[in-house]
Chains A and B, each alone.
Chain A
């Protein structure tokens, strides 16, 4: 498992709707801010890369020192699943994204969830963390 991993879902309106630190490294406040900052900065690159390919998994789009940013874009609404990580494990990350995408779709099918709003479901959170442990 990766020691640093920060997972964020960004809605089509560029709002973060889900954030979690899924790495094993002990939590540090500055680190969390740094992660947010890097992910935020790579949003612009995502916007360019997304039109160059048909795939939803964009692989590595950005890096900052030893931190890498991988992104997966959903087909319909341009929701971006972004992962900041420090280990090179492309297959694992791809699987992780695919499974989280499925979870996210289930989330959207919930009539009581408003698309584009913050994901507060504890069930979703637990599942994402389990997937992170499994694949990253």
Chain B
């Protein structure tokens, strides 16, 4: 295998891979089942987000262990790392960061290609569905574990006819780390 050249490739190289179609269809089966179980599209969106959250809080440990990245000094770095390393590692594609708000607390992650949504076409009955909402949950959960409370949501979805997938990432607050001990003890 060629030596990794970019930041995102390094952790990606030794990771076990799974067949793309198997992955896509498995995720599809989950969404399909949720739609049958909950019936309401809104409820499915919420459920996907919760599932993602539960994945995110676990995934962050794996990510930190394998990616060898150093501490991010500000939120801009964090967004870059998610887009270039995180997505590349776990989804196999990388995103671009853009549309920063003036105060630097809000930005967009743009995915041109999304393996989760291959083959998918939304029927009329699920127009309000954010098919890939699980990604939002994953990011939210992962960031919460590194003491950033965020709000993550889809604003553009190719399945609804937009030109790309756009995830809006908003930093609500940075929770200060609390140590269970004092320095002078």
| A interface with B by C-beta (< 8 Å) | 106, 109-113, 120-121, 123
Contact = CB atoms under 8 A, between A and B. Distances in A.
B172 to A, nearest CB: 33
Contact of A121 (B27, B29, B121): B121
Nearest to B35: A112
A111 B123 contact: no
A110 B32 CA distance: 10
A122 to B, nearest CB: 9
A113 B126 CA distance: 11
Nearest to A108: B119
Interface residues of B, number: 16
A61 B115 CA distance: 42
Given A106-B119, A123-B121, A111 B126 contact: no
**Nearest 10 pairs of A and B residues by beta carbon:** A111-B28, A109-B119, A111-B32, A110-B119, A110-B121, A112-B123, A121-B121, A110-B120, A123-B121, A111-B29
14 contacts: A106-B119, A110-B28, A110-B119, A111-B27, A111-B29, A111-B31, A111-B32, A111-B119, A112-B28, A112-B32, A112-B120, A112-B126, A120-B124, A123-B121
Contacts of B29: 111
A17 B35 CA distance: 22
B122 interface: yes
Interface string B24-40: 01011101100100000
A120 B123 contact: yes
Main secondary structure of the interface of A (DSSP, over half): loop
Interface in B90-142: 118-124, 126
Nearest to A106: B119
A109 B28 CA distance: 9
A111 B121 CA distance: 8
Contacts of A111: 25, 27-29, 31-32, 119-120
Nearest to B159: A112
B8 to A, nearest CB: 28
B161 to A, nearest CB: 11
Given A112-B28, A112-B120, 4 more contacts: A109-B118, A110-B120, A112-B32, A112-B122
Nearest to A119: B123
Nearest to A105: B119
Contacts of A121: 121, 123
A120 B25 CA distance: 21
A110 B118 CA distance: 8
A120 B123 CA distance: 8
A106 B119 CA distance: 6
